[in-house]
Every structure is written in structure tokens, then in C-alpha cells.
């Protein structure tokens, strides 16, 4: 049992997570045969199979499933030893694995990267864009250090740090500019364009409009805010976007932007990280930089939007 190596545990955990030798090898930056050999050696050490090898997907045996859980805990503890050493050296240095949700990344991340480069020149920022569910799994699993998300998440293993509030604005065809802005009831009667399932912004928009989380099947969806805004420009319907997305997404679209009636829909943008990470103090410094970027460059001024609306 003492012959088990950290390398074998990391390769096996990747295989358990992805369920495919090729994808696991790609994530581990090794060849598929090399990963297969390491997993086979691990099975020989334990004296029992860990996976059921199929043509398309790998399934874990009962022992494999148990080992995968134990391996994640071991790898997480080892990673935190490295974080402990980094935390003892003062300002954060080396790689920082930062996750960002898609409805924030294009609009806030450029300003965050510039500010972090100035404030922490010895830090190697490694951003990753993904939906909230994926980011949470990667933080809990030790594959990310922290993430910028919409709060709350209510994940017991994570510490949540609210940074700033951001309202949603209504995007309508350019011909609608100056017309009364619909209230919640009015939006329910319009063709509302939404992001695909899996995006937290989708659920937030549906909640504001008091629509079920599984709306009618004829609802039109898009894979990005860019797609939604361009569909509005084509006259297909209306959509909601976060305030920070206005400058970029409406620059080349024939649309009008309006504030919704009070109480205006909004979201809380914040950062999360593992409660057990030794880097908490350093991550709080990173969070302060993100807060500054959000307040200064992450949104348009209200003067650029239409005046106070009248709900209908």
C-alpha cells in the first residue's frame, strides 16, 4: 500500500472525474497510454480492479468509487499544504486559478486582470470561464482556488464574500425606445429571450419575471448574452442583461436599453473559496481588487440609459 504515488492518485482522480481515458489524459497533460499504465499499476497495488473499461466510457467499480472519494480528499489536503507555504510568504505569488461565470467574464475580467497584474506582479493568474455548477465543483475539488460568481450559493464547503450589486436592464428593439417600460406582468406577455439552462442568470431573470424555472418549450434560448442581444436587434423578442454587459453587447446592435421599474432586479456579485484554504487572507486582497474593478469599470453609468420607466 505504501507504493501508491501521488501521481497515480491524481491520474486516477482525473479518470474518475471525466469517465474517459482520453479526456483524463488531456487534462493531466500526458499521453493516454501513460495514464492507462499508471491506473493499471494502481489496480495491481490494490489487488482489485478500479474501473470497468468500455468502448466509450469508463465506469468505476465499487472500490473505484470509494477510492475516488478518498483520493480527492488526499489531493485536496496536499494542495492545501502548498497553499499554506504560499500564504506564509505574504502577498500571493505563483499560480492563482480563478473561475468566472460567463455573464461576468467578458465584461469584468479584463479590468480585473490589469489591476491584479499591477498589484501582484509575481502572481500567475490562470482564469477559467464556466457555469456556476462547474466552478463550485472545481473549487470544492481543489482544481480552482476561487471564483467570481453570483451569490448566494449556499455551498457548505465554501466561504462567500459579496463584492457589489448589479442591476439588470431591459434590452428591446431600437423601435421601442421611448415607449413605456413593461412591468413584471408585461414581461410575462412578451417573448422573453433567455440563456440556456445551466446559467444562473437565466434563473435570476425567470425569478424576476415570476415565471417557472422550466418555462414553455417554445421559449427562445441563446448560448450567450451576445446571441440574445443580436436576436433582439433582429426583432425576435426582448431580453434582460446585466448592467456591466451594456457597453460591449449593445455597441453593434440596433437595440434600446431601459431601466426596469422599482424594485429593479439585481444580482450580488462576489467571490467564493474553500473555508479550509490557507490562502484566505490573500484571497481577500484579490476580492478587494475585484470589488474596485466592479465599481469603476464593470458597468455603464445610468446617464447612458433611458430615464425612469413607467410600468405597464
Q: Please tell me the total count of domains within the chain.
A: 3
pLDDT at residue 245 above 80? Answer: yes
Q: How many CB atoms lie within 10 A of CB 176?
A: 18
Alpha-carbon Rg of the chain, whole angstroms?
23
Q: Report how far residue 51's alpha carbon sits from residue 305's, in angstroms, rounded to the nearest whole number.
A: 57
* Beta strands 266-274; 255-259: pairing state: unpaired
**Cα 303 to the center of its chain, rounded Å:** 30
Residue 301 inside a domain? The answer is no
- Whole-number Å distance between alpha carbons of 222 and 224: 6
The whole domain housing 18 covers: 6-85
**Do 157 and 170 reside in the same domain of the chain?**
no
pLDDT at 300 over 50: no
Q: What gap in Å lies between CA 226 and CA 243, rounded to an integer?
A: 14
Three-state DSSP at 247 gives: helix
Inform me whether the pLDDT recorded for 80 exceeds 90. Answer: no
Are 190 and 48 in the same domain?
no
Of 45-54, 111-120, 180-189, least confident by mean pLDDT is: 180-189
Residues 58, 188, single domain; the answer is: no
Torsion sign, CA atoms 147, 149, 154, 155: negative
Give me 38's grid cell: 499508471
Query: Do 158 and 274 sit in the same domain of this protein?
Result: yes
Mean predicted lDDT score pLDDT of the chain: 85
* Residues forming a β-bridge with 167: 266
Assign 298 to helix, strand or coil.
coil
Q: Report yes or no on 45 lying in a domain.
A: yes
Residue 178 sits in the same domain as residue 256? yes
- Looking at the fold, whether 197 and 115 belong to one and the same domain comes out as no
Does residue 126 lie in a domain region? yes
**Residue pLDDT, tens place only, 35-51:** 999 999 999 999 899 99
Residue 312 falls inside a structural domain: no
Q: Which of 29, 51, 85 is at the close of a domain? A: 85
- Longest Cα pair distance anywhere in the chain, in angstroms? 73
- What digits encode the pLDDT tens for the residues 128-162? 999 999 999 999 888 899 999 999 998 999 999 99
33 domain-assigned: yes
Rounded to an integer, the average pLDDT of 55-81 is: 84
Residues 157 and 284 in one domain: yes
Angle between the N-to-C axes of helices 21-28 and 6-18, in degrees from 0 to 180, rounded to the nearest 10? 130
Cell of 230: 443580436
Task: Dig out the grid coordinates for 252 from the structure.
Answer: 453593434
Length reported for the chain: 312
pTM here?
0.73
CATH number at residue 140: 3.40.190.10
Residues 112 and 66 reside in one and the same domain: no
Q: Which three cell numbers stand for residue 172?
A: 428591446
Q: How far is CA 310 from the centre of its chain?
A: 34
Residues 158 and 179 both lie in one domain? no
Amino acid at each position: 500500500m505504501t507504493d501508491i504515488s501521488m501521481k497515480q492518485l491524481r491520474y486516477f482522480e482525473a479518470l474518475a472525474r471525466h469517465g474517459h481515458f482520453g479526456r483524463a489524459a488531456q487534462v493531466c497533460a500526458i499521453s493516454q497510454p501513460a495514464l492507462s499504465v499508471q491506473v493499471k499499476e494502481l489496480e495491481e497495488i490494490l489487488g482489485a480492479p478500479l474501473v470497468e473499461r468500455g468502448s466509450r466510457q469508463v465506469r468505476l467499480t465499487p472500490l473505484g468509487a470509494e477510492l475516488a472519494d478518498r483520493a480527492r480528499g488526499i489531493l485536496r489536503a496536499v494542495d492545501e499544504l502548498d497553499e499554506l507555504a504560499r500564504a506564509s510568504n505574504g502577498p500571493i505569488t505563483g499560480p492563482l486559478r480563478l473561475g468566472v461565470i460567463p455573464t461576468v467574464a467578458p465584461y469584468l475580467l479584463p479590468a480585473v486582470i490589469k489591476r491584479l497584474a499591477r498589484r501582484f506582479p509575481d502572481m500567475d493568474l490562470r482564469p477559467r470561464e464556466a457555469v456556476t455548477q462547474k466552478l463550485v465543483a472545481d473549487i470544492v475539488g481543489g482544481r480552482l482556488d476561487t471564483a467570481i460568481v453570483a451569490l448566494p450559493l449556499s455551498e457548505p464547503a465554501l466561504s462567500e464574500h459579496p463584492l457589489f450589486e448589479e442591476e439588470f436592464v431591459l434590452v428591446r428593439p431600437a423601435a421601442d425606445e421611448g415607449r413605456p417600460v413593461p412591468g413584471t406582468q408585461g414581461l410575462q406577455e412578451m417573448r422573453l429571450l433567455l440563456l440556456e439552462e445551466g446559467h444562473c442568470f437565466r434563473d435570476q431573470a425567470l425569478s424576476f419575471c415570476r415565471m417557472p424555472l422550466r418555462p414553455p418549450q417554445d421559449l427562445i434560448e441563446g448560448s450567450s448574452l451576445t446571441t440574445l442581444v443580436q436576436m433582439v436587434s433582429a426583432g425576435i423578442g426582448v431580453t434582460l442583461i446585466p448592467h456591466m454587459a451594456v457597453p460591449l453587447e449593445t455597441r453593434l446592435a440596433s437595440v434600446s436599453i431601459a431601466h426596469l421599474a422599482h424594485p429593479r432586479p439585481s444580482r450580488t456579485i462576489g467571490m467564493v473559496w474553500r473555508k479550509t484554504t490557507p490562502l484566505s487572507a490573500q484571497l481577500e486582497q484579490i476580492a478587494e481588487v475585484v470589488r474596485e474593478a466592479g465599481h469603476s469599470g464593470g458597468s455603464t453609468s445610468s446617464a447612458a440609459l433611458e430615464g425612469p420607466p413607467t410600468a405597464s
